Amino acid sequence: MCGIAGYVGKKQAAAILIDSLKRLEYRGYDSAGIAIAGDNGKITRKRCKGKISNLEKLIRGKNLKGTTAVGHTRWATHGCPSDENAHPHADCSGRTVIVHNGIIENHASLRSALSAAGHKFNSETDTEVIAHLLEDVLKSEKDFLKAVTSAASKLEGSYALGIINSDNPGELIAVRKDSPLVIGLSADGNFIASDVPAVLPYTKEVIYLEDGQSARIKKDSVEVFDSSLKKIKKKISKITWDPVTAEKQGYRHFMLKEIHEQQRAVQETLLGRINRGDSSVSFEDFNLTAKDFKKYKKIFMTACGTAYHACLVGKFLLEDGLKIPCEVDIASEFRYRNPPIDDTTLVITVSQSGETADTLAAMREAASKGAYTLTICNVLGSTMTREADGVIYTHAGPEIGVASTKAFTCQLAALYLLTVYFGRLRGSMPVKQAREMTEGLLKLPLKIKKFLDEQEQATEKISHNYFKKNDFLYIGRHVNYPLALEGALKLKETSYIHAEGYPSGEMKHGPIALVDEEMPIVAIVNKSFVYEKMLSNIQEIKARGGKIIAIATEGDTETAKIADDVIYIPEVPEILSPILTSIPVQLLAYYISLLRGCDIDQPRNLAKSVTVE
Ligand code: F6R
């Protein structure tokens, strides 16, 4: 997903912007560029396809001087990745330069009108129309901020924009609608960025710009305006993340580092929320009374990708603990299927980033129909957390690897807590059941550590037996069926191996036809009430020559007799097992991808934060 950065300050901007853009690399990108306004007002643009290292080579020795600049990492939406399509984009005169994250939906009609009026376009992007549109507006409106907001009012779609102009030196205008934008404040100058990690080495003080707001940013001032250009006072948020938490800390990849952070991340997500005296749960930012909750007759959960898999586990938990129906939908489907929602519906969205366009749209759709919206989210101040009626934060810390790992286990932890919270509120969960769940949860972080200490090497070794295979199946039952889906997703996105997840009971209805000695099957066979059924399933596969990698409970000798390889997880109550079974499926994907030489932290075609539809 595109990342934007900008700086107006006392220091030379080029090095700062390159550094900020590198900190946005995790969002995924295919080209990068910067534009710097020199002291004479002239703006120089440097852009290229590929990695930021290419851009560094391009600007090396060019003596790019200037203290006002914008930069961009592009994830192609309109036009292929190329030098010409890379941002920043300029108007015909080169005096107005723009970086943009989002999609301009009416770009085609704007482009033809602007072309007819004589504007010359140099790229295929939707963004370039904004620069030309602004060029026209600036002919009659000399106030830079007013001109930007007037041009923005003609745009349909989503945008976070950073704009500089030769006639307004030392000034950067930022505006947003449906795409994230933060402003960083420091004594040496002020910043804009798509996300906090880009500014963290320079400041811990940020302002989150809201939809429809704009900002005039200078080296020693930041003014924020509402949609009618009335100046407003914004809260300055203090970021508690340490910049080193956003670095790899000695691990070869962020994905591996984040897999190892799960003990701490899950611990922090549980921290302070369980009252061991009465086994109740409370949340700092979310509180419903029993009376409020009584009116909810149905729950919908909606999310994308890995977060959707967390919702599938959540369905088991909530229906069991609350005894009310809970439906789970992929957000891109939910938003268009006109689901039956009213003010007796509770809609839960789950998102690491809090910016995923489909999930956000699904949440807005639910809110417009009168539902109470609750979001489980990892990013403080993200759009979903600002718009939802209630928020439960997962405290996973920044997740940089594109493949979600620690955010997922923390989403699960939050869903267990939510189940106890609602179950007690509704009176549908006996204290004994709440105690078993909360006490079991508190033991999980140590079990995660035990698994990593004792089984990581074995998992790595097992990966050597299978990394050359082209197709995998993942199977599981009950709460571990979603983990089969998640295991398959992790493998396909990081290793590019084709993989499918199935509920084991479905094998005989079709997929078992695929089984032969070339098809490894990862089976989640931990001790549970469906254990015997899982044993039968893997026996059926074995009888057809399939290769089985089992994820089993330590001490299970029966599974070892059937499976080709076994990864053992510590014993855990079945209902809580998904947090533990997550770790071996993540590690398998990681080590197989490593052996295949894949770009693990930034898999091809993927972005960390999917802020377009
Ligand atoms: C897969 C992955 C994605 C995300 C999905 C939703 O490893 O990371 O499938 O889970 O794009 O993103 P968020 O959680 O930010 O809404």
- Test site for ligand 1: of 258, 349, 353, most ligand atoms within 8 A of the Cβ: 353
Verify whether ligand 1 is closer than 6 Å to residue 394 (CB atom).
no
* Structure tokens that stand for 267 in this block: 């611990």
Ligand 1 pocket check for 332: Cβ under 6 Å: no
Dihedrals phi, psi of 214, to nearest 5 degrees: -135, 165
Q: Is the CB of 495 under 6 A from ligand 1?
A: no
Can you give the pLDDT at residue 613? 79
Closest CA to 549 of 488, 463, 435, 436: 463
Closest atom of ligand 1 to CA, residue 490: 7
Written as six digits, the tokens of 536 are 């039968």
CA 300 from centre of chain: 21
Long-range contacts of 82-85 (CB under 8 A, 24+ apart): 82/31, 82/49, 83/31, 83/47, 83/48, 83/49, 84/122, 84/123, 84/124, 85/31, 85/123, 85/124, 85/125
The residue nearest atom 3 of ligand 1, judged by CA position, is 305
For residue 458, give the amino acid letter.
A
Q: Does ligand 1 have an atom closer than 6 angstroms to the CB of 213? A: no
Strand partners, 100: 161
State in Å: Cα 574 to ligand 1 middle: 25
Pocket test for ligand 1, best of 356, 359, 392 (most atoms within 8 A of CB): 356
How far apart are the C-alpha atoms of 567 and 588, rounded to whole Å?
A: 10
* Mean pLDDT calculated for residue range 142-158: 95
pLDDT of residue 395: 84
Which atom, in ligand 1's list, is nearest to the CA of 379? Answer: 15
pLDDT at residue number 612? 80
| Sheet (strand 390-393) strand order | 326-330, 298-303, 345-351, 372-377, 390-393
Residues 234-269 have pLDDT tens digits of 999 988 776 666 566 668 899 999 999 999 899 989
Is any atom of ligand 1 closer than 6 Å to the C-beta of 493? yes
Ligand 1 centroid to Cα of residue 570, in Å, is: 27
In the prediction, which pLDDT does 306 show?
98
Lowest-pLDDT choice from 170-174, 182-186, 235-239, 367-371: 235-239
Distance (Å) from CA 186 to ligand 1 centroid: 32
Taking 90 as the threshold, does the pLDDT of residue 285 lie above it? no
Q: What order do you get walking across the sheet with 221-225 strand by strand? A: 89-90, 96-104, 157-165, 172-177, 214-218, 221-225, 231-232
Residue 1: pLDDT band with limits 50, 70, 90: low
Active site residues: 2, 608
Q: Compute the average pLDDT of residues 19-23.
A: 94
- Please report the sign of the dihedral spanned by the C-alpha atoms of residue 23, residue 25, residue 27, residue 29: positive
> How far is 219 from 175, CA to CA, in rounded Å?
18
Structure tokens at 467: 């990394």
Q: Which residue's CA lies nearest to atom 8 of ligand 1?
A: 404
Question: How high does pLDDT run on average in the chain?
Answer: 94
| CA 566 – ligand 1 centroid, Å | 28
Tell me the C-alpha distance between 69 and 344, whole Å: 50
Dump pLDDT digits (tens) for 534-553.
999 999 999 999 999 999 99
Q: Which of 306, 312, 409, 492 to mutate to test the pocket of ligand 1 (most atoms within 8 A of CB)?
A: 306
Return the residue whose CA atom lies nearest to atom 9 of ligand 1.
305
**Probe target for ligand 1 pocket from 330, 352, 392, with the most ligand atoms within 8 Å of CB:** 352
Q: Give all domains of the chain, ordered by start, each with its CATH number.
A: 2-246 (3.60.20.10), 256-443 (3.40.50.10490), 455-595 (3.40.50.10490)
pLDDT surpassing 90 at residue 503: yes
Neighbours of 31 (CB within 10 A): 26
Q: How far apart are CA 14 and CA 16, in angstroms?
A: 5
Secondary structure letter of residue 81 according to DSSP: S
Per-residue confidence band for 347, with pLDDT thresholds at 50, 70 and 90: very high
Q: Return all residues near 142 (Cβ < 8 A) that are at least 6 apart.
A: none
Query: Does the beta carbon of 306 sit less than 6 angstroms from any atom of ligand 1?
Result: yes
Establish whether residue 556 lines the binding site of ligand 1, counting it when its CB lies within 6 angstroms of any ligand atom. Answer: no
Evaluate if pTM is beyond 0.85. no
Which residue's CA is the nearest one to ligand 1's atom 6?
304
Whole-angstrom distance, CA of residue 365 vs CA of residue 64: 47
Q: Inform me whether the pLDDT recorded for 499 exceeds 80.
A: yes
Token couple for 534: 């899982």
Give the lowest-confidence range in 237-246, 485-494, 507-516.
237-246
pLDDT at residue number 180: 86
What is residue 246's predicted lDDT score, i.e. its pLDDT? 56
For residues 26 and 3, give the distance between their C-alpha atoms in angstroms, rounded to a whole number: 9
Tell me how far the alpha carbon of residue 312 lies from the centroid of ligand 1, in angstroms: 14
Cα(302) to ligand 1 centroid in Å equals 12
Instruction: Note the pLDDT tens digit of each residue in 361-370.
Output: 999 999 999 9
pLDDT above 70: residue 53: yes
Residue 557 contacts by C-beta under 8 Å, 6 or more apart in sequence?
none
Inform me whether the pLDDT recorded for 28 exceeds 80.
no
Instruction: Note the pLDDT of residue 158.
Output: 85
Q: Which atom of ligand 1 is least distant from the CA of 305?
A: 9
Q: Is 17 helix (H, G, I), strand (E, B) or coil?
A: helix
Looking at residue 105, what is its pLDDT? 83
429 lines ligand 1 (CB under 6 A): no
Which has more pLDDT, 184 or 244?
184
Work out the pLDDT band at 78, boundaries 50, 70, 90. Answer: confident
Identify the CA nearest to 507 among candidates 541, 548, 464, 546: 541
Question: Does residue 464 sit in helix, strand or coil?
Answer: helix
Percent of the chain with pLDDT over 90: 84
| Residue 404 CA to ligand 1 centre (angstroms) | 6
Q: How far apart are CA 511 and CA 524, in angstroms?
A: 17
Give the 3-state secondary structure of residue 22.
helix
Beta pairing partners, 375: 349, 391
Lowest mean pLDDT among 72-81, 245-254, 493-502: 245-254
Maximum CA extent, the chain: 81
Q: How far is residue 83 from each of residues 28, 155, 250, 324, 605, measured CA to CA in Å?
A: 17, 25, 34, 54, 18
Which among 344, 345, 348 is positioned nearest to 419, based on CA atoms?
348
For residue 308, report the distance from its CA to the centre of ligand 1, in Å. 8
Query: How far away, in angstroms, is 607 Cα from ligand 1 center?
Result: 9
Distance, in Å, from the CA atom of 307 to the CA atom of 353, rounded to the nearest integer, reads 10
Name residue 220's amino acid.
Answer: D
- CA–CA gap between residue 375 and residue 385 (Å, rounded): 7
Residue with the larger pLDDT of the pair 606 and 219: 219
Pocket test residue of 254, 404, 585 for ligand 1, highest count of atoms within 8 A of CB: 404
